[in-house]
A and B are shown apart, each in its own frame.
Chain A
């Protein structure tokens, strides 16, 4: 099937199989930030934005992206590096494998929630699993970051 997608503001036309999932299609386009962490839609590592909404790319059939906007962290480079810098000041980057999906979700939250409480932040990010950090440093970084941009 041929689909036309706007990936990180660039329009591309792609050939996909009906049962291809976005995570693989995006990796094939060289977007290596998008990766699998599990087989069961549970971990959030593959999170991308579909029309600005955080969405699991492992569970989204590629043909459904036809005519839609997809954003990966490569498309938010400066904002992502800014927040990544804050994460790094907490040491909360660790292995980094969950980071792109996590950061995309944080940046979506930044746009969607106004003055979130700690409970709001934790709730929004519940679908992003991390095995390295114990989540505390990530929360410290988010609070710092949201405080900075206030």
Chain B
């Protein structure tokens, strides 16, 4: 029985953040920070012919106006990815070419918001307007080239053909998929479209910058990736890395949206030019239109099976829309295949291929699930269609085909699956939703129809061979600990959870461990919290650092007590020599080590990166009620049974699931993305883009089937992303079971359902 890991401990920052203490970025800004406003392009694709800021500069309170003529000419990426990034360096701070409605044209810094806005209105811009690329299905070989610039560079060959608007290309192929499909008794082919879902975190993007006493640029940002921001700011502003410091305070959510930089380079540049602190706060509108969203994808799936229900061939073609910039294009593309195909390992051939293309729309970036969400919708919807074709229970079909621990899969890059409880997740989920009684549908006396649907998913835990995290834990002079980490708690409670990990190793209550995160001057390196890496990668680094410190505590106390380390017993508070006759408290030992005779302040260190990315698994089951006279869908209950390995904090992991399911329900049913003919994003506020409100989600029931992942801290895997993947295919399945309409184009709206019924 573990003492601290697994406990439902409250987050350490709960009271402060709930009661509105000033602990977020905006609250910490210097009172005299210049207000930054951005003049943005009204055109989807244009070149700035001329820009005149003369009148604007004369507005009282204006301190600085920058155009493309005033910024460094170094191209960079805003992607929060480990260096060298698999992202094109396709951005300039300000570019004479603007590539989407909202692309930055001028930076205005003034002493007040009113002055900045007044100045913004006086900037005169003449554009040469080009025909924009707005339909990603027409992007390849379109007459307009989104990125014609010669100085665009890539760290790797990501298969870019920029003259054709191709940002990246990828193929994963094992076996002869065409031949295998020919051999199959049943082939199902379908094309799916997923929308550019917005992260829509409650705190919009903001950061402030200032020069400190050493003339270093300090950036305080609502970001998930302080170390990556440091690198990109240094590159973009042509500063040595030693001159940049990034601090991440409490932040109001991220979900991947803050895995990409936003205006830090703007604020940094203003501070460099004026010498003054500066802050930008993006409005909700700017957050929707001018940061990043999920990659919209068109996925064509061909699935071949034999009549016994074994899936023998999978062929998926993907066209992914990366919008105006390519930060996460190639990586989300790869994840889409990598975190779906291995699920079904009875295949004899698989292929996954296609392109990510540039368009003149809001850039796509990282959003929870990161490609796996889109792929899961397409693949699981197709597997459900197979079940219908075979007249087989969809749960049975899964159990027949899913990969099990100890097995490999064609698309699994030679890996062997370490831990999985997916089988139990499916069985448990069936039980909890009442599958036996409810599958597939029943008509109520009031004419409404209730039906159930399901889907399964995998994800990863960190990026294998790349995500590397360091942690340090120091024994303070008073016998308490300070844990230094660079991961980024964005509300998830990871700071609290990591203290639980260290506490378990050191056998001390987590309250004895002060957690510090994240400041690039102080924190050991961490990529930041994304790719479901914090529990698995940072957690392991913390565990190993704590073990390192424990070893040192034992070694030093052995010296102090005049025994060998093997004779030491340490219970977290007291060190005794085995015969019990010699005792020293941790507190006394700490004093002695820091200020006493045996001078040596102890710090435990570790750096951890895993060569594998063990998948968490989720089986999702949903019951919906469909009104056949309107097509309106009401989610009655969603059951998610989760294998994330060991549950590190019972409450925090449960809430991750509930929150992720709600976001998945939003993607499945409510979050529509619309552009007008000119390329303006219409769904750029909460009035038009409907994240679910509390009446929209129904009851969410979460259960865990814990496997044990030996490479994770105390057996843990990850939870952050997998949670969003099952609702779209499960709800589509339930709707299909209810009224015989398969919606393949997200979101599943009442009109689509009803019109689908009419067409039958």
CA gap between A63 and B15 in the complex, in Å: 32
Contact assessment for B18 and A35 in the assembled complex, using a CB-CB cutoff below 8 Å: no
Chain A, interface residues (CB within 8 Å), range: 35 or more
A103 interfacial by beta-carbon distance below 8 Å: yes
A70 interfacial by beta-carbon distance below 8 Å: no
**Nearest CB on A from B9, distance (A):** 9
CB-nearest residue of chain A to B657: A134
CA gap between A39 and B283 in the complex, in Å: 7
**Residue from A33, A37, A40, A88 in contact with B687 in the complex, judged by beta carbons closer than 8 Å:** A40
Q: Which of B445-453, B610-618, B660-668 contacts A (4 or more CB under 8 A)?
A: B660-668
Contact assessment for B700 and A84 in the assembled complex, using a CB-CB cutoff below 8 Å: no
**Nearest CB on B from A93, distance (A):** 4
A43 interfacial by beta-carbon distance below 8 Å: yes
Contact assessment for A131 and B255 in the assembled complex, using a CB-CB cutoff below 8 Å: yes
Contact assessment for A91 and B651 in the assembled complex, using a CB-CB cutoff below 8 Å: yes
CA gap between A94 and B662 in the complex, in Å: 14
**Residue from A96, A122, A127 in contact with B252 in the complex, judged by beta carbons closer than 8 Å:** A96
B658 interfacial by beta-carbon distance below 8 Å: yes
| Of A36, A125, A135, most B-chain CB atoms within 10 Å | A135
Report if A99-B17 is in contact (Cβ < 8 Å); known contacts: A38-B284, A38-B685.
yes
**Residue from A73, A81, A134 in contact with B660 in the complex, judged by beta carbons closer than 8 Å:** A134
Contact assessment for A96 and B491 in the assembled complex, using a CB-CB cutoff below 8 Å: yes
Residues of B within 8 A of A94 (CB): 253, 491-493, 655, 659
Contact assessment for B18 and A96 in the assembled complex, using a CB-CB cutoff below 8 Å: yes
Interface residue ranges of B459-515 to A (CB < 8 Å)? 490-493
Residues of A within 8 A of B22 (CB): 32
**Nearest CB on A from B307, distance (A):** 40
B10 interfacial by beta-carbon distance below 8 Å: yes
B216 interfacial by beta-carbon distance below 8 Å: no
Interface residue ranges of B355-382 to A (CB < 8 Å)? none
Residues of A within 8 A of B691 (CB): 129, 131
CA gap between A85 and B655 in the complex, in Å: 16
Contact assessment for A81 and B15 in the assembled complex, using a CB-CB cutoff below 8 Å: yes
Contact assessment for A84 and B491 in the assembled complex, using a CB-CB cutoff below 8 Å: no
B27 interfacial by beta-carbon distance below 8 Å: yes
Interface residue ranges of A106-149 to B (CB < 8 Å)? 122-123, 125-139
**Nearest CB on B from A45, distance (A):** 6
**Residue from B13, B658, B663 in contact with A136 in the complex, judged by beta carbons closer than 8 Å:** B658
CA gap between A93 and B685 in the complex, in Å: 24
Contact flags B637-652 to A (C-beta < 8 A → 1, else 0): 0000000000001011
Residues of B within 8 A of A39 (CB): 283-285, 685
CB-nearest residue of chain A to B199: A131
CB-nearest residue of chain B to A84: B18
A interface residues with partner B (beta carbon < 8 Å): 31-43, 45, 72-74, 77, 80-81, 84-85, 87-100, 103, 122-123, 125-139
B interface residues with partner A (beta carbon < 8 Å): 8, 10-11, 13-22, 24, 26-27, 199-204, 250-253, 255, 283-285, 490-493, 649, 651-652, 654-655, 657-663, 685-687, 691, 693-695, 697, 699-700
Pairs of residues from A and B, 6 with the lowest C-beta to C-beta distance, nearest first: A33-B20, A95-B491, A96-B17, A97-B252, A91-B651, A134-B662
